[in-house]
């Protein structure tokens, strides 16, 4: 696993999931997202709960397919469950394909736009830190499509950065997160560089806004599975 040094130099553009980011993305996730492995373990568990009779699992913004590989290890191969990853970054898909080849995986990968993709009926849809990169006007449309795609009783599991409705608390949450990143070995300079690169690219909602978005678009239930400061994992049930 290559070490993330993307923001050790001055930024020249807004953040994007290009070849440079894809090459270090697994390390970036582990060091940038608090309790990432734990939230992924929860995601896998609740995905498995919904797959009693098999079905299709979509990972929207699958990056290097790490989560789908974990689910495949749990569910096994040749069980009738189809695991499908979609990402609009050719660099991410390239890295995912290399992993799939190494592990002899049956995961299906598609390079494409999750807003325009033609979905088949599914039992589980996962989206990890992906909705926050979609403009708010289109976010509801995507969640409605996800709700329409899922079978009755199907689940949508998604993780997002969240903001607080209280400005003072929101600043304290951000400070807490930056302290976490420093413990992971990121310098103050790297933290500032990434924050500037993400400005107007990553647009987070509050926790309640995320829950209401799901309920407004076809889900009867939406609750928080996990939260650490300004990071949260949600489960919505069709």
Confidence of residue 104 (pLDDT cuts 50, 70, 90): very high
Residue 2 falls inside a structural domain: no
Q: How many domains is the chain built from?
A: 1
Residue 75 falls inside a structural domain: yes
Strands 231-237 and 150-163: antiparallel
Residue 6 falls inside a structural domain: no
Residue 43: pLDDT over 60 = yes
Residue 8 falls inside a structural domain: no
Rounded distance between C-alpha atoms, residue 54 and residue 40, angstroms: 20
N-to-C CA span, the chain: 37
Residue 63 falls inside a structural domain: yes
Residue 179 falls inside a structural domain: yes
Residue 4 falls inside a structural domain: no
CATH number, domain with residue 215: 3.40.50.150
Q: Which of 30-34, 46-50, 120-124, 229-233 has the lowest mean pLDDT?
A: 30-34
Residue 214: pLDDT over 50 = yes
Residue 235: pLDDT over 80 = yes
Q: Is 83 exposed, middle or buried (0-12, 13-18, 19+ CB in 10 A)?
A: buried
Q: What's the gap between Cα 14 and its chain centre?
A: 19
What residues contact residue 205 under an 8 Å CB cut-off, 6+ apart?
132, 136, 160, 162, 163, 213
List the domain range (segments joined by +) for residue 55.
14-237
Residue 7: pLDDT over 50 = no
Residue 29 falls inside a structural domain: yes
């Amino acid at each position: 696993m290559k070490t993330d040094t993307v923001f050790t130099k001055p930024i020249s553009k807004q953040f994007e999931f290009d070849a440079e980011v894809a090459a270090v993305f697994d390390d970036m996730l582990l060091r940038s997202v608090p309790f990432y492995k734990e939230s992924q373990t929860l995601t896998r568990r609740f995905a498995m709960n919904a797959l009693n009779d098999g079905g299709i699992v979509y990972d929207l913004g699958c990056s290097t397919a790490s989560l789908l590989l974990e689910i495949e290890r749990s569910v096994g191969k040749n069980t009738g469950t189809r695991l499908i990853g979609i990402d609009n970054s050719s660099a991410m898909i390239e890295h995912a394909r290399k992993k799939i080849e190494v592990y002899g995986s049956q995961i299906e990968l598609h390079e494409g736009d999750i807003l325009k993709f033609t979905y088949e009926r599914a039992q589980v849809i996962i989206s990890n830190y992906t909705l926050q990169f979609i403009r708010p006007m289109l976010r509801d449309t995507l969640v409605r499509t996800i709700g329409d795609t899922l079978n009755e009783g199907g689940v949508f599991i998604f993780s997002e950065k969240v903001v607080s409705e209280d400005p003072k608390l929101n600043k304290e949450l951000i400070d807490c997160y930056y302290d976490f990143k420093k413990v992971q070995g990121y310098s103050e300079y790297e933290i500032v560089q990434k924050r500037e690169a993400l400005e107007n690219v990553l647009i987070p909602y509050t926790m309640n806004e995320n829950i209401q978005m799901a309920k407004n678009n076809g889900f009867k239930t939406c609750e928080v599975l996990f939260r650490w400061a300004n990071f949260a994992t949600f489960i919505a049930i069709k």
